[in-house]
Structure 1
Amino acid sequence: MSSQASQPNASLQGRAASAAPPAQQSMDRAALDWITSRRPAFTTPPPQRVREATALIPSAAWFCDAARVDSIHGVRHNARVSLLGAVLAQEYDLDHDAATALSVAGAIHDCRRHDDREDPGHGQRAADWLQQNADQITAALSVGLAAEWLQPAVLAIALHDIPYQAFTPTQQRAYTRWPHLVDLLKAADCLDRYRLPRTSWWPDTSRLRVTVPGWLHPFAFDLMVSSEQARLDRADNQTALTPTR
């Protein structure tokens, strides 16, 4: 038998232990059960107002190939980062245009990945893609991205996968123009790391340049679990990412 399901380490969690993780990595029930059973002992519940935040859900057609759509960097990850960005925008009192730029950046940031490993350069590819297709993307997402906020969104995407200490002089100069949007996209992306099948890979906020409130951690964890569970139960992505009221 050669199918992935027949292999002893077919689970995402099992494959994470391999020396060379595969290019394609997707959530499965065993991995989600493993993650759920290790839910940290969070002490601060999220406030009611976060329910006002909405995820922007990217189209499956925006990904480099079909294998990426349901992967750990696929539609649901990008949508959750969009929503987490919207929540962080509330926390940091961003105005409407800046918050929209952050949410759009979250929805697009990983959509041009070639694989589910590190994939150097995927941020710049997604940034270029947004630059070239901004009107069509924002129309599809039903948002109005102010013209002056397109470049900050593009920059945040381009830098989201690059450690601060690795910025080139050109990148550093660009960063100093819109540091908050870059910082908050990195924070939103970091918060969705609870989906990864090793606790050592979960959010490390010491790498960030903004403070993440304690209540955002259980919010991010539960958002990931509920949306991944819904998808495993055969909900479509729109349904999986729409919270029940």
Structure 2
Amino acid sequence: MTIPESIQENYHYWHNFLETEVHFSLADSEKHTKDHCARVLLFALLIADKMALPHDRQTVLCAAAVFHDSRRKDDWLDVGHGQRAADYYLEYCRKHLISFDERTYQVMAFHDRDDALGEAALAKEEDGVLLYRIFKDADALDRFRLGPGKLNVRYLRTDAAKSLYEYAKHIWYGGFAKR
């Protein structure tokens, strides 16, 4: 399966960033790998493209995708890994003198929490709740890696994500999963 042309440049830029710049605490993870983050990146860009989000909103999603599971301590629930990843992102921005985005930080910090908490945290940010929902959907679209039936489309928050269910299934079972 190929990456749609409309998102190729952004995908390749951020995938390269993920591979060269982001270091994972749980290097021997079986479920929360760089490959998983690359698929979340792909799904986030696909959803953003379907919703015609501007480039700056796409950048929020891309940065969140590449950092979001980088500070896991285990492959299970690990509530708090989102906050640790957000702190790593902030530290990375400061160290490398690159632009920091509060929405990226908050999306990551709350992606492992209940939606009510995440949405409340992002309610005052421009498009914050929308970006949070898109990111949570992008992460959820990769649940096929956890086994058959692990992605229930009714829990997806956006219509754009719901329309990608079969695509996500094909990504996993069609051989793109290890990309």
TM-score, structure 2 as length reference: 0.80
Matched, 1:194 2:141: no
2:153 and 2:85 mapped to 1: Cα distance? Answer: 24
Q: How many percent of aligned residue pairs carry the same amino acid?
A: 28
Given the alignment, which residue of 164, 168, 171 partners 1:216? 164
| Structure 1 position 92, deviation (Å) | 1.2
Contact (CA 8 Å) 1:76, 1:227: kept in 2 or not? no
AA in 2 matched with 1:79: A
Q: From the superposition, tell whether residues 211 and 186 of structure 1 become closer, same or farther in structure 2 (CA, over 3 Å).
A: same
Match of 2:105 in 1: 154
1:217 and 1:207 mapped to 2: Cα distance? Answer: 12
AA in 2 matched with 1:62: H
Match of 2:86 in 1: 127
Contact (CA 8 Å) 1:63, 1:111: kept in 2 or not? yes
Contact (CA 8 Å) 1:81, 1:106: kept in 2 or not? yes
Q: From the superposition, tell whether residues 191 and 74 of structure 1 become closer, same or farther in structure 2 (CA, over 3 Å).
A: same
Contact (CA 8 Å) 1:187, 1:212: kept in 2 or not? no
Largest Rg, 1 or 2:
1
Match of 2:27 in 1: 66
SS in 1 for 2:58: helix
SS in 2 for 1:99: helix
2:139 and 2:160 mapped to 1: Cα distance? Answer: 12
CA RMSD of aligned residues (A): 2.7
TM-score, structure 1 as length reference: 0.60
Contact (CA 8 Å) 1:190, 1:205: kept in 2 or not? no
Match of 1:81 in 2: 40
Match of 2:121 in 1: 174
Alignment gaps of 5+ in structure 2: none
AA in 2 matched with 1:189: D
Alignment gaps of 5+ in structure 1: 1-45, 140-144, 232-240
Contact (CA 8 Å) 1:127, 1:154: kept in 2 or not? yes
Contact (CA 8 Å) 1:89, 1:99: kept in 2 or not? yes
| Structure 1 position 80, deviation (Å) | 0.5
Contact (CA 8 Å) 1:97, 1:146: kept in 2 or not? no
Q: From the superposition, tell whether residues 72 and 213 of structure 1 become closer, same or farther in structure 2 (CA, over 3 Å).
A: closer
Contact (CA 8 Å) 1:127, 1:155: kept in 2 or not? yes
Match of 1:118 in 2: 77
1:164 and 1:154 mapped to 2: Cα distance? Answer: 16
2:63 and 2:102 mapped to 1: Cα distance? Answer: 12
Q: From the superposition, tell whether residues 99 and 174 of structure 1 become closer, same or farther in structure 2 (CA, over 3 Å).
A: same
SS in 1 for 2:142: helix
Q: From the superposition, tell whether residues 213 and 182 of structure 1 become closer, same or farther in structure 2 (CA, over 3 Å).
A: closer
Higher helix share: 2
| Structure 1 position 104, deviation (Å) | 1.6
| Structure 1 position 129, deviation (Å) | 0.7
SS in 2 for 1:62: coil
